[in-house]
Amino acid sequence: YKDGKYCTFPHTIEFLNKPYADIFTILTSYPSLENYLSPFMDAWKGGAQDQLQGQIASAKIPLSRMISPQLYWVMTGDDFTLDLNNPNEPKILCVGNNPDRQNIYSAALGLYNSRIVKLVNKKGQLKSSIIIDELPTIYFRGIDNLIATARSNKVAVCLGFQDYSQLARDYGDKEAKVIQNTVGNIFSGQVVGETAKNLSERFGKILQQRQSVSINRQDTSTSINTQLDFLIPASKISNLSQGTFVGSVADNFGEEIDQKIFHSRIIVDSAKVSAETKAYKKIPIVNEFKDENGNDIMQEQIERNYSRIKDEVEQIVQDEMERIKADPELRKRLLPDEKDEEDND
């Protein structure tokens, strides 16, 4: 609408919270959207307002929970674009969830994530990495497809979570299985139960030599045999000490896959870490939210932005309704009640 001037999530929320009579009328006035709205319009004109109201309320209620001046501030403006690996404008974007409002913010973050996936996973872009810690706390739509196809576009995907059971709980068994099987490299610390068993099976079996000694009164006999056994048993994964991890790394050389299984312990050199920390540069301040006198006006700016969005959406509805009323054909088709009232007058 108007070259995307109002194309933000907050504007969408505000528009969807307008009376559905206005929403249906405005959207149906556009030929490209008419077919999408036809079931709702038929129900509305057929007298099924109560049923229709219930269906719309089921969509409005979750969206209404996301209405907050702070979220509106973050999700408006044109500070930067989400093509993170653009060769001309490379970016590092860090987003975080709020544990207290996880269910609310996950929808907003999911919107960012789905858009980032489409823009990043393209040919001719810079090498990039998408790192997602605590994956089950947010629904990342299309993550399995991203893992499977992004390598050819030089995009590395790193997923972090505590246990497979968390992934199955929040993503469903089928999608969780797809994610587990699509990932090529695995690094794991101490895990127990089914997760340890699944990892042990994934690391596979190798021929291991076993030696047994039998002693009796007359002599001692030694027998050596080989048999397939788990390379890293589940019991060993369940009892890993802190800083120790196991994993498998898949290296692609044409069609050959060389899978290296390792068991390693991380040793941290505190002197090197301290030197690196001293070399860190502070993130520049983008907006201090202060006026010329140094007063903190953050809340004032956020509230002003919140009011601006509400006013813009209200103006859009008014302008669109005026446009429909000014067009005789649209007015006759979409506003028959007003036409009948004028005729009666």
* pLDDT tens digits in sequence order for the chain, 345 residues long: 888 889 888 999 999 888 888 888 899 999 998 888 888 888 877 878 788 888 888 888 877 778 889 889 988 888 888 899 999 999 888 888 777 777 777 778 888 888 888 889 888 899 999 998 888 888 787 788 888 888 888 899 999 999 999 888 888 888 888 888 888 888 899 999 889 998 988 888 888 777 788 887 777 788 887 878 888 889 989 998 888 888 888 765 433 444 555 666 666 677 777 888 888 888 888 778 888 888 888 999 999 999 999 999 999 999 999 999 999 998 888 887 665 555 555
The structure tokens 């390792």 sit at 262
3-class secondary-structure state, position 159: strand
- Under 8 Å between Cβ of 248 and 264: no
* Residue 11 exposed, middle or buried by CB count within 10 Å (0-12, 13-18, 19+): buried
What CA–CA distance (Å, rounded) separates 48 from 42? 9
3-state secondary structure of 142: coil
CA distance 127 to 254: 20
CA 213-215-216 angle, to 5 degrees, is 155
CA atoms within 13 A on the CB side of 75: 24
Predicted TM-score of the model (pTM)? 0.71
| CB-CB contact of 316 with 17 (8 Å) | no
Give me the amino acid identity at 227: Q
